[in-house]
Chain A
Amino acid sequence: MSDIKKIKDDYIDKLNTENNIEKVNNIKSELFGKNGIISNEFKKLGSISVEERKKLASDLNNIKDELQNKISTKIQEIETKEINLKLEKEKIDVTLPERNIETGKIHPVSQVIDEISSIFSEIGFSVEEGPDVENEYNNFTALNTPDNHPARDMHDTFYLDNNKELLLRTHTSPVQVRTMLKGKPPFKIIAPGRTYRSDSDQTHAPMFHQVEGLHIDKNINMGHLKGCLNYFIKEFFEVDKIKMRFRPSHFPFTEPSAEVDIGYEIKNGKIVIGEGNKWLEILGCGMVHPNVLKNVNVNPSKYQGYAFGIGIDRLGMLKYGINDLRAFFETDYRWLSHFGFDPLDVPSNYRGLSR
């Protein structure tokens, strides 16, 4: 008995100091292999008396368990150490830059068009389009602006022929004409798009964007116009309250006509919309002139409604603090990166118009 206890103690000592997994495995086979020390001790059991055998077997079993436990914890210990060491070696500098991120952007004009479309979609408007090249009739005459009308001077027009028959549309209003000519009332549309006028300075670009609105039905009056625009402006600027002023004006294609101003103030050099006692003109609107309705075969004694035209670029400048209109169209990489929007930022009602 003392022999095997000594063997056990020796091996426990050995295992305690051993750190090599192979050597531990060697010890394991030395002890428990086919001719291992402990295995041999078990073989001896058959040749001794029953009394002794019982005792010895029990001792042997205890020793075997103790050694085996020791071996397996040792193996685990060494393995853990080795893995830790390996992991330690594999450590990388995670602050190194990731692979290049390719960031695309949506132009502010497109973003604002989507914002506008989203807002008007909520109150049942659908989107219509018209061509950039228009004929003189759709752009002016059908809109109650005959050739001799001084209001034509307000539009510096680009022409494509010497007879002034073909032109680049000076506003989105010809889409009204096209929409009504091809359909039957009621109409409820907005028409965003490119428009052109031949002046160019700090605040004017030869190309800019407008959105036209048109709602024609049996009983649409100026109250609806006011309500619609009030809703739009509040939603667009994402404010609860908006100071808004309707003031009489004149457009040949609407009667009565109005221009709409919104209140603003300058705070810390930035423009704040909706408060203050300064007024900023942002759109023109009115009740569609009976002459226009007649020109597009809509009976003005049965149907009436409103139209409006809003400068998209201007709205974007106000909302997003952009100072220079010309920069919109100059394709400066820095400007596009700075003012552009993430393509996943799709304006919608349920997720919010903007982040």
Chain B
Amino acid sequence: MKFTVDWLKNHLDTKFNNNQIIDKLTNIGLEVESFESSTSELDKFIVAKIINAKTHPNADRLKLCDVDIGSDKTIEVVCGAPNAKNGLLTVYAPPGSIIPKNQMKLSVSKIRGVTSYGMLCSESELLLSNESDGIIELKNNKYANKIGEKYFKNTSEKVIDLSITPNRPDCLGVRGIARDLSAAGAGKLKINKKSNLKYNGNQNINVTIKKEKAQGCTIFGSCLIKGVTNKESPKWLKDKILSLGQKPISAIVDITNYVMFDLNRPLHAYDSDKIDNEIIVRSSSKGESFEALDNKKYILENDMCVISDRSGVLGLGGIIGGTRSGTEYSTKNILLESAYFLPRSIRKTSKQLNIDTDAKFRFERGIDPLSIEEGLIKASELIKQICGGEISNLDVKKIENYKKTIINFDPFLFEKTTGFNVENKELIKILEKLGFNVSKNKKILKLVIPSWRPDITQPIDIVEEIVRIKGYEYINTSEPIKTRLKPTLNYYQKLFHFLQRSVASKGYLETVTWSFTDSKINQLFRENDEEIPIINPISSDLNVLRNSIFPNLIFYLKKNLDRGFKDISLFEIGPAFKGKNPGDQLTVIGAVRAGKVSRLSWNDKERIVDTFDVKKDVIQSLCEAGINKDDIIIDDRTPSYYHPGKSGGVYQNKNEKNAIAYFGEIHPNIIKKLDIKTEGLVIFEICLDYIRASKQKIKDSKSEYKFSDFQKSERDFAFIINKNFKSQELVNIIKSVDNKLIKSVRVFDVFEGENIPEGKKSIAVNVTIQSEEKTLNENDLDNINKLIISSVESKSGAKIRS
């Protein structure tokens, strides 16, 4: 909402200066977006000095001027003026400016083979005089210090731009703003002058509001103005329209716009000679069409509120008029409309047709239903004053009467809500100045709500009115109450926190990527989940919710590889979507690692990242987050985007459906499809929701501290075993030989090839044996060794290597 201070002062007697007004507006909830002069085309013309004028190489009568325009470098301008000479102060017009005389827009151009950046102007070109013989010669004493400054002073008044919240339609007019300011002590609201308008004759175009279920109009007021001379608006009116940032059109249109911004009362003027017999306000039928004043043809749906005549639709009520009945300079007789349209109907229609107008913006928020006549009178007066004509009696048709809203307000609610007290007297004064009618019934205030405040429906709204006018600075700053109702984080939130930082500590950079992604990449990681398209995506490559955490990670990994980074570790923790309903999402950590370990190291051998790098990262992170390493099982069931032979899943239970984590190489097909160029690429993911919550806190789960001081022995074994036999199984078989005595089993060598039969491998393990009761003698150890060998051989089909 834009207006000037002068305009405001038409409605407000105030001693406040501009800055005080600006502050007050912000303090009562009318946020000032800006307070600036409206920009003018003339701002571009600046004072300049010719530093050097020499003859054009290809044209004797043209000059090539180096011009100082107050910036770092001079610019070159080709000029035909005979008086262009070194040291001359003149007016420069840059490319893009419009020359007032001929309305030509300048551009950078070549004149006889030399590029000219803009031009130097004559008085006639700037419409200052008829002098066109040479460029302007500015006086040295006045302009020598002004090189680079605007030549024309911007005399336009500063414009206040308010951002009006959707609950305040009343402040979409200057008078409403003045009223709020007056309530806040910034001055006195001027009383509207009584109109002494003389009416002549009846409004004899019949108006009918059809009683239909979907009728969007409840009141239609109108009057005829006959014998007008439409013309250009006078300067004061043009200035007002310009200050709104709009273009003046004609006196009649400008007046209706002016009244809309002045009183927040949208009006519409018809050329009454173009109306076919009568006005019918009705609901549209599907397929009806009309050409609107924005020069677009609209095809209507059912139940849109239209103003029509016998020939068809004239306009969309409260939204936009039609060209068929529009006013022109030649218009002689007009029908002026001032109506009330229901916000819901306006909103629905404008959404369906995608139209946004100032009138629509206002009706959608709620116009004062009691302002019908005020608007007609004010506009008629101005039309008569500017365009002449005879005004008919006002005709107001209604299908519904306005009902007053009454609220019984207990002032205690104010203190209860805001924490401070305002005397009843002051409170009543504020409300009265805002236009409330206040009467007292013991402690309760009976309030009649002003008709221009559709936003006020219940007592809490009254609290807001009082506190915003009184000032938010009166609200106390209470010390925060530290009472705690429950722990800050629950188990899964803590897990999130631990895992996030644990993974980062393994050398991964955390990133945050969009929750949506490119369906083409998503497809590669979707598995059996349903695709979740976004109906109105921001772009076609962000058109689905991500089913997996990886599509974006891989996409950005590739981007970084393309930037020239070779060794990259990235991770993200966030949602992966499994369905389109609320809650069909999992919290997942996804991590990618590309390139080499120990690249260009002077002392370590470099190697490509592999599955066991990410296996370590994932297992260590899980352990750090509180999962016991002995409680997890590794399996080779993994999603299809992993390399089927080089990936694993981490399970908390043998028969569990969902792994808590996966790790391994990415499937080579995906690398190929996405054209990822890297030496190695391994990934892992952890699904937080599948981790079983620990029921015990650490304080309850610490077991008794036990240790053995008896001597421990280590024995190495090497077994020849089927190639596909899992080492994890072998370790479990050995451990189960004697859980008490066998303290640890470590695989320290795996070997295939020479001396090992086809389809077999050799696994060497180191077993630590220790008793908690005694030092084991050779005999004891021999027995265990034999047991280990026989168990492994019988349970796995392995053979001990001799």
Footprint of B on A, CB under 8 Å? Answer: 96-97, 99-100, 102-107, 109-110, 114, 117, 120-127, 129, 131-135, 138, 148-151, 153-154, 158-162, 166, 168, 186-188, 194, 196, 198, 200, 206-207, 219, 221-224, 226-228, 230-231, 246-250, 252, 255-259, 287, 289-290, 304, 328-333, 336-337, 340, 343-344, 346
The interface bits of chain B over 549-590 (1 if a CB of A lies within 8 angstroms of the residue's CB, else 0) are 000110010011001010011100111010011111100000
Q: Which of B417, B472, B538, B602 contacts A258 (CB 8 A)?
A: B472
Contact B509 A333 (CB under 8 A): yes
Contact A104 B472 (CB under 8 A): no
Return chain B residues, CB-CB under 8 Å to A328.
512
* Residue B104 lies at the interface, judged by CB distance under 8 Å to chain A: no
Contact B514 A329 (CB under 8 A): yes
Q: In the complex, what's the smallest C-beta–C-beta distance from B558 to chain A, in angstroms? A: 10
Q: Which 9 A-B pairs have the closest CB atoms?
A: A102-B507, A248-B29, A223-B419, A250-B165, A331-B556, A221-B419, A104-B504, A248-B468, A343-B504
Contact A188 B485 (CB under 8 A): yes
CA distance A256 to B460 in the complex (A): 7
Q: In the complex, what's the smallest C-beta–C-beta distance from A17 to chain B, in angstroms? A: 44
B343: nearest chain-A partner, CB-CB: A148
CA distance A230 to B472 in the complex (A): 14
Q: Which of B29, B463, B501, B553 contacts A250 (CB 8 A)?
A: B29
Return chain A residues, CB-CB under 8 Å to B328.
none
Return chain B residues, CB-CB under 8 Å to A207.
514-516
Q: Which of A133, A150, A166, A231 contacts B480 (CB 8 A)?
A: A231
B163: nearest chain-A partner, CB-CB: A249
Contact A194 B515 (CB under 8 A): yes
Return chain B residues, CB-CB under 8 Å to A134.
582
Contact B500 A161 (CB under 8 A): no
Return chain A residues, CB-CB under 8 Å to B565.
333
* Residue B167 lies at the interface, judged by CB distance under 8 Å to chain A: yes
Q: Which of B167, B511, B577, B580 has the most CB of A within 10 A?
A: B511
Return chain A residues, CB-CB under 8 Å to B577.
132-133
CA distance A290 to B462 in the complex (A): 13
Interface range on chain B (Cβ under 8 Å from partner): 35 or more
Contact B537 A329 (CB under 8 A): no
CA distance A343 to B559 in the complex (A): 24
* Residue B488 lies at the interface, judged by CB distance under 8 Å to chain A: yes
* Residue B364 lies at the interface, judged by CB distance under 8 Å to chain A: yes
For chain B, residues 480 to 505, give those with C-beta under 8 angstroms from any C-beta of chain A.
480-490, 493, 497, 500-505
Q: Which of A124, A133, A150 contacts B481 (CB 8 A)?
A: A124
Contact B509 A340 (CB under 8 A): yes
The interface bits of chain B over 446-481 (1 if a CB of A lies within 8 angstroms of the residue's CB, else 0) are 000000000000101101100110001101111111
Q: Which of A126, A133, A259 has the most CB of B within 10 A?
A: A133
* Residue B27 lies at the interface, judged by CB distance under 8 Å to chain A: yes
CA distance A289 to B536 in the complex (A): 31
Return chain B residues, CB-CB under 8 Å to A135.
582
Return chain A residues, CB-CB under 8 Å to B507.
102-104
Contact A124 B515 (CB under 8 A): no
The interface bits of chain B over 165-197 (1 if a CB of A lies within 8 angstroms of the residue's CB, else 0) are 111100000000000000000000000000000
Contact A227 B477 (CB under 8 A): yes
* Residue B86 lies at the interface, judged by CB distance under 8 Å to chain A: no
Footprint of A on B, CB under 8 Å? Answer: 26-29, 31, 165-168, 343-344, 347-348, 364-365, 416-420, 458, 460-461, 463-464, 467-468, 472-473, 475-490, 493, 497, 500-516, 532-538, 542, 545, 552-553, 556, 559-560, 563, 565, 568-570, 573-575, 577, 580-585, 597-599, 601-604
Contact A132 B515 (CB under 8 A): yes
Return chain A residues, CB-CB under 8 Å to B585.
131-133
Contact B510 A340 (CB under 8 A): yes
CA distance A350 to B541 in the complex (A): 45
Q: Which of B484, B510, B577, B580 has the most CB of A within 10 A?
A: B510
CA distance A95 to B448 in the complex (A): 84
Q: In the complex, what's the smallest C-beta–C-beta distance from A269 to chain B, in angstroms? A: 20
Contact A150 B477 (CB under 8 A): no
Return chain A residues, CB-CB under 8 Å to B553.
331
Return chain A residues, CB-CB under 8 Å to B485.
124, 126, 186-188
A291: nearest chain-B partner, CB-CB: B458
Contact B501 A247 (CB under 8 A): no
A161: nearest chain-B partner, CB-CB: B535
CA distance A130 to B168 in the complex (A): 32
Contact A336 B509 (CB under 8 A): yes
Contacts A99-B598, A207-B516 aside, 6 further interface pairs with beta carbons under 8 A come to A100-B601, A104-B503, A123-B482, A124-B485, A223-B476, A224-B480
With A247-B31, A249-B165 known as contacts, the answer to whether A117 contacts B472 (CB < 8 A) is no
Q: In the complex, what's the smallest C-beta–C-beta distance from B339 to chain A, in angstroms? A: 19
22 contacts between A and B (CB under 8 A): A96-B603, A102-B507, A123-B481, A124-B481, A124-B484, A124-B485, A127-B488, A127-B489, A207-B515, A221-B417, A222-B475, A226-B476, A227-B479, A246-B473, A256-B460, A287-B417, A287-B460, A290-B460, A331-B552, A340-B509, A340-B510, A343-B505
Contact A121 B584 (CB under 8 A): no
B510: nearest chain-A partner, CB-CB: A107
Contact B509 A162 (CB under 8 A): no
CA distance A186 to B563 in the complex (A): 52
CA distance A206 to B512 in the complex (A): 13
Contact B463 A331 (CB under 8 A): no
Contact A150 B365 (CB under 8 A): yes
With A104-B508, A133-B545 known as contacts, the answer to whether A123 contacts B503 (CB < 8 A) is no
Contact B598 A100 (CB under 8 A): yes
Contact A126 B489 (CB under 8 A): yes
CA distance A132 to B598 in the complex (A): 40
Contact A304 B417 (CB under 8 A): yes
Contact B582 A248 (CB under 8 A): no
With A194-B574, A250-B165, A333-B565 known as contacts, the answer to whether A104 contacts B505 (CB < 8 A) is yes
Return chain A residues, CB-CB under 8 Å to B344.
148
Contact B475 A117 (CB under 8 A): no
Contact A160 B535 (CB under 8 A): yes
With A104-B507, A161-B535 known as contacts, the answer to whether A250 contacts B166 (CB < 8 A) is yes
Contact B500 A106 (CB under 8 A): yes
Q: In the complex, what's the smallest C-beta–C-beta distance from B464 to chain A, in angstroms? A: 4
Return chain A residues, CB-CB under 8 Å to B364.
150
Contact B418 A122 (CB under 8 A): no
Q: Which of B417, B504, B573, B603 has the most CB of A within 10 A?
A: B504
Q: In the complex, what's the smallest C-beta–C-beta distance from A112 to chain B, in angstroms? A: 11
Contact A161 B477 (CB under 8 A): no
Return chain B residues, CB-CB under 8 Å to A125.
488
Contact B480 A228 (CB under 8 A): yes
CA distance A227 to B478 in the complex (A): 5
CA distance A256 to B479 in the complex (A): 20
B501: nearest chain-A partner, CB-CB: A343
Contact A222 B514 (CB under 8 A): no
A256: nearest chain-B partner, CB-CB: B464
Q: Which of A103, A107, A109 has the most CB of B within 10 A?
A: A107
Contact A122 B365 (CB under 8 A): no
Contact B458 A290 (CB under 8 A): yes
Q: In the complex, what's the smallest C-beta–C-beta distance from A242 to chain B, in angstroms? A: 11
Q: Which of A97, A186, A337 contacts B602 (CB 8 A)?
A: A97
CA distance A106 to B589 in the complex (A): 13
Q: In the complex, what's the smallest C-beta–C-beta distance from B304 to chain A, in angstroms? A: 15
Return chain B residues, CB-CB under 8 Å to A103.
507
Q: In the complex, what's the smallest C-beta–C-beta distance from A198 to chain B, in angstroms? A: 6
Contact A166 B581 (CB under 8 A): yes
A120: nearest chain-B partner, CB-CB: B488
Q: Which of A186, A198, A304, A333 contacts B538 (CB 8 A)?
A: A198
CA distance A227 to B485 in the complex (A): 19
Contact A96 B580 (CB under 8 A): no
A122: nearest chain-B partner, CB-CB: B482
Contact A99 B603 (CB under 8 A): yes
With A222-B417, A331-B560, A343-B504 known as contacts, the answer to whether A246 contacts B580 (CB < 8 A) is no
B415: nearest chain-A partner, CB-CB: A221
CA distance A122 to B479 in the complex (A): 13
Contact A247 B27 (CB under 8 A): yes
